[in-house]
Amino acid sequence: MGPITPLDEERWTRAARGGDIEAFDHLVERYESMAYHVAYRILQDPHDAADATQEAFLSAYRAIGSLRGSFKPWLVRIVVNASHDLRRRVRPGRTTSIELVEEETGDPRWLSDPTMDPEGAAISLEVLATIEEAMGHLPEDQRLAITLVDLHGLTYGEAAQAMECPVGTVRSRLARGRDRVRELLITAGSLE
């Protein structure tokens, strides 16, 4: 498949809204990596992330008729919700206060994930580990903002739509999250 243009995406979205499942699967193919990564960053578990991603795409397909605007932030919103739903099911009664998030995500499990390929990373393993640890300690909102904007190129507007919050909130979450990572990199000696 050649490069995907916005025109392709528009065409697929339109066809999918008309019930064309093949067209929808083009969108799945285009965004499954992002969707899985977003779920992964929220749930921090590869199996849960895969389950949430599958549920999100099924849910998106069922609801595609309601889509107004662009597909990407709309899909992220569904992935975020599916991840939260799954967490509620898997870990009932747990809340997502900052303290709990920090407690639960202190271990950068991602690093030991067999699906990860650190060799392909553009940064050293040591720095990678530091950033992962920092990310793991961030409140989920900040981690999600960084994931969407820095790792998947969403604009602030798209991230706001995906996170259901004002643009100003995205801006502030992103800044605070980046600053926290910066502090940890300095502490680890990876940044002067």
How many chain residues interact with other proteins (CB under 8 A)? 75
Per the CB < 8 A criterion, the answer to whether 171 and 156 are in contact is yes
Among 9, 15, 37, 102, binds other proteins (CB under 8 A): 37
Q: Which of residues 42-61 bind other proteins (CB under 8 A)?
A: 46, 50, 53-59, 61
Write out the two tokens for 130: 């530091």
Residue 12 interacts with other proteins (CB under 8 A): yes or no: no
Stretch that binds other proteins, among 1-9, 99-107, 168-176 (CB under 8 A): 168-176
Query: Going residue by residue from 112 to 151, which x/- string records binding to other proteins, judged by CB under 8 A?
Result: -x-xxxx-xxxx---xx--xx--x----------x--xxx
Question: Is the sign of the CA dihedral 157, 159, 164, 167 positive or negative?
Answer: negative
Distance CA 118, CA 113 (A): 10
**Residue showing tokens 């999250």:** 177
Stretch that binds other proteins, among 3-11, 73-81, 94-102 (CB under 8 A): 73-81
Distance CA 111, CA 153 (A): 23
Distance CA 187, CA 192 (A): 9
Query: Going residue by residue from 77 to 96, which x/- string records binding to other proteins, judged by CB under 8 A?
Result: xx--xx--x--xx--xx---
Write out the two tokens for 175: 């800044």
Q: Which of residues 14-33 bind other proteins (CB under 8 A)?
A: 16-17, 19, 21-22, 24-25, 28-29, 32-33
| Minimal distance, residue 192 CB to other proteins, in Å | 8
